[in-house]
């Protein structure tokens, strides 16, 4: 049912024709009482599923304990979260800046990069074609999708765009000696769920070292466990100088973070956020980290991601899909040319499975880390049935 108030919401999203009113775990219910399996999972943010009891308890307790203190005052949840993240993430002795979203984490990182680079005569940030880093002015400029940038240009001109996985192009981008950093998604999400080659990530690290540039990663979608590691770049065994995380960290509440080597910090007054890392979202994030660890969810992420890709590959009718990509529970399935992506998404919805899309031809699955094998099998079967119908 379309709600009357919807007319007053700016139409920044081409919304699916469903109004969701309730959720528990993997399941959501619409305003007509229909149940769905939620493989969108708040576009990757809902790491523990809907209304996980430990998350609800942490949020309720925090909301009853203290309100917002602004960042003029320290609070126990934020301090504990910073210490935990510094210990969990592979960047040694990392320092954390808390914000409220992935986009804000991008902005903070870009300022940090420029702060270090400009005194060295280096202002350029190398980014990848097809990347996505957010919708604010600098984050949009960093995004390697010209159609998204075009209506708002000129944006900031700090960026040099190179093709993903192209080592020669990357080396060429360093030739003019002005590169302050490389900034990339180790598993590109919005661009179509494309894991970068692990060798390529090694080359990025080596070139950055050679040219005194920072290797920085956008882990907003792929990090915080979504791909089975706290940072997805760890699959390559390389350590970045700084990373951004958000989405899965808050388990549904808005929190993002810039995580950087200790010498890459801001001084007082150089950056700020009224809400960033407040007691409620920081407590939510702590409950997410606790639950991931206590319930060994990173293992489940790997097992369920592998199962989903295997089941889809096995069940999809011949000729209806292209590549099946991803790592852990960031999973993309290309539909074959000629099949309408929107029809596949709608067909899945009619079968009670909610998914999103990425790029022009990719069905994307980003379920909670708690998803079980039965639900994964149900989704893969629903996709196969939908593909058979759409191909008819
Ligand atoms: C890789 C990446 N970076 C940044 C963002 C922006 O995050 P947010 O929507 O939380 O601002 C996203 C959102 O999809 C993303 O996938």
Q: What are the pLDDT digits (tens) for 352-383?
A: 999 999 999 999 999 999 999 999 999 999 99
Q: The tokens 């639900």 sit on which residue? A: 375
Work out the pLDDT band at 252, boundaries 50, 70, 90: very high
315 touches 383 (CB < 8 A): yes
- Distance in Å, CA 143 to ligand 1 centroid: 10
The pLDDT tens digits for 274-332 are 999 999 999 999 999 999 999 999 999 999 999 999 999 999 999 999 999 999 999 99
Distance between CA atoms of residues 273 and 108, nearest Å: 10
Distance between CA atoms of residues 378 and 68, nearest Å: 42
Distance between CA atoms of residues 111 and 89, nearest Å: 21
Pocket test for ligand 1, best of 47, 98, 102 (most atoms within 8 A of CB): 102
241 touches 214 (CB < 8 A): yes
Q: How many C-beta atoms surround the C-beta of residue 336 within 10 A?
A: 16
Q: Map residue 16 onto helix, strand or coil.
A: coil
pLDDT at 391 over 90: yes
Distance between CA atoms of residues 154 and 278, nearest Å: 34
Closest ligand 1 atom to residue 219 Cα is 1
Going edge to edge, which strands form the sheet with 353-354?
20-24, 27-30, 35-38, 353-354
Q: Map residue 27 onto helix, strand or coil.
A: strand
Q: Is 126 in the pocket of ligand 1 (CB under 6 A)?
A: no
Closest CA to 85 of 72, 96, 74, 70: 96
Two structure tokens written together for 33: 């009482």
Question: How confident is the model at residue 2, as a pLDDT?
Answer: 84
186 touches 236 (CB < 8 A): yes
Q: For residue 43, give every residue at least 6 positions away whose Cβ sits within 8 Å of its Cβ, in sequence order, or none.
A: 247, 356, 366
Work out the pLDDT band at 1, boundaries 50, 70, 90: confident
Question: How confident is the model at residue 158, as a pLDDT?
Answer: 98
Distance between CA atoms of residues 33 and 141, nearest Å: 42
The angle subtended at Cα 122 by Cα 118 and Cα 125, nearest 5°, is 105
162 touches 169 (CB < 8 A): yes
Q: For residue 81, give every residue at least 6 positions away whose Cβ sits within 8 Å of its Cβ, in sequence order, or none.
A: 96, 98, 277, 282, 285, 286, 289
Closest ligand 1 atom to residue 254 Cα is 10
Q: Is 218 in the pocket of ligand 1 (CB under 6 A)?
A: yes
Question: How confident is the model at residue 314, as a pLDDT?
Answer: 98
Pocket test for ligand 1, best of 43, 46, 47, 132 (most atoms within 8 A of CB): 132
pTM for the predicted model, two decimal places? 0.98
121 touches 156 (CB < 8 A): no
Distance between CA atoms of residues 113 and 135, nearest Å: 19
Distance between CA atoms of residues 293 and 189, nearest Å: 24
Two structure tokens written together for 284: 């939510």
Alpha helices in the chain (DSSP H): 41-44, 53-65, 76-88, 102-117, 137-142, 146-149, 167-173, 198-210, 279-294, 297-315, 341-350, 373-391
Residue of the CA atom closest to atom 7 of ligand 1: 102
């Amino acid at each position: 049912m379309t709600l009357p108030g919807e007319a007053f919401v700016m139409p920044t999203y081409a919304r699916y024709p469903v109004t969701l009113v309730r959720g528990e775990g993997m399941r959501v219910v619409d305003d007509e009482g229909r149940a769905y399996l939620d493989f969108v999972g708040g576009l990757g943010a809902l790491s523990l599923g809907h209304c996980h009891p430990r998350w609800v308890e942490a949020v309720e307790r925090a909301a009853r304990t203290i309100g917002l203190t602004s960042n003029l005052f320290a609070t126990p949840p934020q301090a504990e979260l910073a210490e935990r993240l510094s210990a969990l993430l592979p960047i040694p002795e990392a320092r954390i800046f808390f914000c409220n979203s992935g986009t804000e984490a991008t902005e903070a990182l870009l300022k940090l990069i420029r702060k270090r680079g400009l005194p060295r005569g280096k202002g350029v940030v190398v980014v990848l074609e097809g990347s996505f880093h957010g919708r604010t002015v600098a984050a949009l400029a960093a995004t390697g999708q010209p159609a998204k940038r075009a209506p708002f240009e000129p944006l900031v001109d700090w960026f040099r765009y190179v093709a993903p996985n192209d080592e020669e192009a990357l080396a060429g981008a360093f030739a003019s000696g002005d590169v302050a950093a490389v900034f990339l998604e180790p598993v590109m999400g919005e661009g179509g769920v494309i894991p970068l080659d692990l060798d390529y990530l090694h080359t990025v690290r080596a070139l950055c070292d050679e040219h005194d540039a920072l290797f920085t990663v956008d882990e907003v979608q792929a990090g915080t466990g979504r791909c089975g590691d706290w940072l997805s770049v760890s699959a390559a065994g390389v350590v970045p100088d700084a990373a951004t995380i958000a989405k899965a960290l808050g388990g549904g509440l808005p929190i993002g973070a810039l995580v950087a080597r200790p010498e890459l910090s801001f001084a007082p007054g150089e950056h700020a956020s009224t809400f960033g890392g407040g007691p409620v979202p920081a407590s939510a994030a702590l409950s997410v980290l606790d639950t991931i660890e206590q319930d060994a969810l990173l293992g489940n992420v790997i097992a369920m991601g592998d199962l989903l890709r295997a089941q889809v590959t096995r069940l999809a009718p011949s000729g209806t899909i292209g590549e099946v990509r991803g790592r852990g529970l960031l999973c993309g399935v290309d539909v074959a040319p000629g099949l309408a992506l929107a029809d596949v998404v709608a067909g899945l919805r009619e079968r009670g499975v909610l998914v999103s899309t990425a790029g022009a031809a990719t069905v994307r699955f980003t379920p909670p880390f708690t998803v079980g094998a039965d639900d994964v099998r149900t989704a893969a079967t629903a996709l196969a049935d939908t593909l058979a119908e759409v191909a008819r």
